[in-house]
Amino acid sequence: RLSLGLIPNIKKIEDVMRNFNTKEKALRAGEIVVLGVPLDRNSSFCRGPESAPQFIREALFSESSNLWAEKMIDLGLMSGWRILDDLEFLDQGAEFAKIESRINALLAKKARVVSLGGDHSITYPIIKAYGKRYKNLSILQLDAHPDLYDELEDNRYSHACPFARILEKKLVKRLVQVGIRTLTGHQHEQAKRFGVEIIEMREIDRADEIKFDGPVYLSLDMDCLDPAFAPGVSHHEPGGMSTRAVLQIIQDLRGQLVGADIVEYNPERDPQRITGMVAGKLLKEIMGRMLEENSKNA
Ligand code: MN
Ligand code: MN
C-alpha cells in the first residue's frame, strides 16, 4: 500500500475516512464532499496523478499538522464536509461518463464537490455536470498552462484540451486563467476565439483585480506553483506562483465558491512528499473557505 511515510497511524486515517463514508442519502444541502478521481490516462508527458487522491488525503490528516484552516475554521469538527470513496474506472472509454454522472448525482443533492485528480482532463466531465446545474458559472483556473489545445497527440480529451471542450460547448459564462506561462500561437488564438480572460504569470499583480458575480468553480492545477514550491508535478514549468500566493487567491476570492478540483499532483515525482503536503494544505484552505461561506449564509 502506498503511504506518505510521514504519518505514524495510517489506520486512524482510515477509521476517520470510514466515518465520513456514511450514506449519501444523509447529505445536507451545501455540504462539501471530497471525491477522489484517480484517472491519468489522458496525460501526455508522464503518468502518476492516478495515485494522487490518497496521498492528498493522507497529507490533510498528517499528524505533522492540524485540521484548522488559517482563518480559524476547524475542519476537525468533522461537520459540514465528508470524504467519499474514490471513483473506480473499470471500463476503458466510459471514464468521463462515470465522472459526469457521479457529479450530477452529488449536485442534485446540493453538495459542493471538491474533486481530487487525476490529470486535468477530468475537469471537462465535471464541468459538464456543473454547467447544467449552475447557469451563470464562472471558472477560475490556476495553471501554468492554458489547456486550450484543440487536440494533442490525436487526443481531443487530453489534459491539454479540457478548456477548449468546455468553451466549445458553452458550459460556462466566463473562464479566468491565472498563472499562465506557456502560451503558444495556437492557444493564444483559441483564447481570443473563446474570450478567455488570461492573467499571465508575468503580470500576476493583476490577479488582485479579479472579481466574480455568482457561482465560481476553482480548477487548481498544481503546476501553477513554481517547481521550487511544488516539484511533484508532471510538467515542471519555472517562473510560477508561491504557495502563499495561491493561498491568498483562495482566501480572498470574491465570489461564491460552489466547487473545486485539485489536479496534476504526481506522487511519482514527489519522493519527499513535499508537494503532497502543499496539495493537502490547499485542500484544507479550499474547504475552510467553503465552510466559512456556510457560516456567513447561516
Ligand atoms: Mn492544467
Ligand atoms: Mn498545467
Q: Ligand nearest 121 Cα, by number? A: 1
Measure 263 CA to ligand 2 centroid, in angstroms: 9
Q: What is the pLDDT of residues 61-110, one digit of tens each?
A: 998 899 999 999 999 988 899 999 999 999 889 999 999 999 999 999 99
Q: Ligand nearest 124 Cα, by number? A: 1
Q: What is the pLDDT of residues 155-194, one digit of tens each?
A: 999 999 999 999 999 999 999 999 999 999 999 999 999 9
Contact 86, 53 (CB under 8 A): yes
Measure 210 CA to ligand 2 centroid, in angstroms: 20
pTM: 0.94
Cβ within 8 Å of residue 40, ≥6 positions away? 47, 48, 49, 50, 117, 118, 119
Protein residues placing their CB within 5 Å of the ion ligand 2: 143-145, 221, 223
